[in-house]
């Protein structure tokens, strides 16, 4: 199959209408959202959903998120909108947050991987919203990467992974946030964050007295409630070690570890802040931005993880961040990309 890569300039674009029709007809279209690029198909069409799993090489027990553009669509796909969900929608939607609710009967089994709940999100991106409108159906969309690889934040990264596996890639430029949406389970007494993202625990605590975090987000050997969170994920092609702890000691500690590996004859890549990059001045370095600017780090982190794919390195040393605010999302992705292989300093 030939994959079209098309720049979208406005929501009236003919290509965008064609993409909507393609989804209606059961095809697969990758599109930008404010978080990462999604691989979209008709969320009410069992065959389209199965084709999403095939295109990504994704395990079938890892359910999909349905993307909607209005409340009317929401009421078709869930059996109940809990008060908790209403509160979240009022405060944060459209935006980088996904809510888990009991599903309605019209959802194909392939979409939920057999669960009786459904993940729903209303993206804050004009192209995504227009695509849902033209397709006139909730769009099932996992991140548009080959399963296990870092999520794509540009159309070019999507094309690299999924070329010849899907019908179209809509290029809407780089994504704003760069990490996937926060997932919140809205079926229990208190909200539980199943995956951290740009809507932070602190932001949720402004509207709820208690917010829980699924233990699997911060620990290795725990079975997560979001099935997808159990897989080694977001990973670069070579091994990565996460260096975490005191920021003031980062430069000297990373320098020491770098020299140790170089003495063993290994070629080392560094995924670090501007501050550490400037200090160490090492050849194979991807700098993810200032350690003072977590939003920038979030938007760069997946490009950083992909950067070393075509570089000649044997191992990557990655600098950790704080786990406050969106730092929790960054650290969660870095822990998973490294397979929970950390050095604490």
Q: Give the per-residue contact string, 42-81, with ligand TXA (x = CB under 6 A; - = no).
A: --------------------xxxx----------------
Strands (E), 148-293: 168-171, 182-185, 192-195, 212-213, 239-244, 268-272, 285-287
Least CB distance to Mg ion at residue 244 (A)? 23
Q: State the binding string over 102-141 for ligand TXA (x if CB under 6 A, else -).
A: ----------x--x-xxx-x-x-----------------x
CB of residue 233 to ligand TXA, shortest distance in Å: 8
Name the residue among 286, 303, 20, 322 with its Cα closest to residue 158: 303
* Phi–psi pair at 251, nearest 5 degrees: -55, -50
Neighbour order of strands in the sheet with 285-287: 285-287, 268-272, 315-319, 239-244, 342-344
Q: Does 94 bind ligand TXA (CB under 6 A)?
A: no
* Cβ 271 to ligand TXA shortest distance, Å: 21
Burial class (CB in 10 A: 0-12, 13-18, 19+), 114: exposed
Residues within window 9-48 making contact with ligand TXA, judged by CB under 6 A: 33, 35-36, 38
Q: Could you list the residues that contact Mg ion (CB under 5 A)?
A: 143
For ligand TXA, the closer CB: 38 or 289: 38
Which residue, 229 or 313, has its beta carbon nearer to ligand TXA? 229
Exposed / middle / buried, residue 264 (Cβ in 10 Å: 0-12, 13-18, 19+):
exposed
For residues 274 and 327, which CB has a smaller minimum distance to ligand TXA in the complex? 327
| 3-class DSSP state of 233 | coil
The three-class DSSP label of residue 164 is coil
CB 127 within 8 A of CB 170: yes
Helices of type H across 137-200: 155-162
Site residues for ligand TXA, 227-246, by CB under 6 A, read: 227-229
End-to-end Cα separation, the chain, in angstroms? 49
Q: What mask of x and - would describe binding to ligand TXA in positions 188 to 207, judged by CB under 6 A?
A: ------xx------------
Residues of this chain that interact with ligand TXA (CB under 6 A) are 33, 35-36, 38, 62-65, 98, 100, 112, 115, 117-119, 121, 123, 141-143, 180-181, 183, 194-195, 225-229
């Amino acid at each position: 199959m030939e994959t079209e890569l098309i720049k979208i300039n406005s929501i009236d674009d003919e290509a965008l209408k064609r993409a909507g029709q393609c989804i209606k007809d059961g095809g697969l279209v990758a599109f930008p959202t404010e978080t990462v690029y999604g691989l979209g198909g008709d969320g009410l069409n069992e065959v389209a959903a199965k084709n999403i799993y095939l295109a990504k090489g994704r395990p079938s027990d890892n359910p999909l998120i349905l993307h909607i553009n209005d409340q009317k669509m929401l009421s078709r796909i869930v059996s109940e909108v809990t008060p908790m969900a209403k509160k979240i929608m009022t405060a944060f939607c459209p935006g980088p947050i996904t809510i888990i609710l009991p599903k309605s009967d019209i959802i194909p089994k392939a979409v939920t991987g057999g669960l009786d709940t459904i993940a729903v999100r209303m993206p804050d991106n004009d192209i995504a919203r227009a695509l849902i409108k033209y397709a006139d159906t909730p769009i099932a969309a996992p991140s548009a990467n080959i399963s296990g690889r870092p999520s794509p934040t540009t159309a070019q990264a999507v094309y690299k992974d999924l070329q010849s596996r899907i019908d179209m890639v809509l290029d809407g430029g780089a994504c704003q946030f760069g990490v996937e949406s926060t997932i919140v389970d809205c079926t229990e007494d208190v909200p539980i964050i199943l995956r951290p993202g740009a809507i932070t625990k602190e932001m949720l605590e402004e509207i709820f007295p208690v917010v829980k975090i699924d233990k699997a987000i911060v620990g290795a050997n725990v079975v997560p409630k979001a099935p997808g969170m159990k897989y080694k994920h977001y990973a670069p092609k070579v091994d990565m070690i996460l260096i975490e702890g005191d920021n003031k000691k980062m430069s000297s500690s990373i320098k020491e570890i770098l020299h140790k590996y170089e003495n063993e004859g290994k070629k080392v890549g560094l995924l670090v802040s501007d501050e550490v990059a400037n200090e160490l001045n090492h050849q194979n370095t991807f700098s993810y931005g200032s350690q003072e600017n977590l939003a920038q780090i979030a938007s760069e982190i997946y490009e950083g993880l992909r950067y070393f794919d075509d570089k000649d390195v044997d191992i990557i040393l990655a600098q950790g961040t704080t786990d406050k605010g969106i730092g929790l999302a960054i650290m969660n992705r870095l822990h998973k990309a490294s397979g929970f292989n950390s050095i604490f300093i």
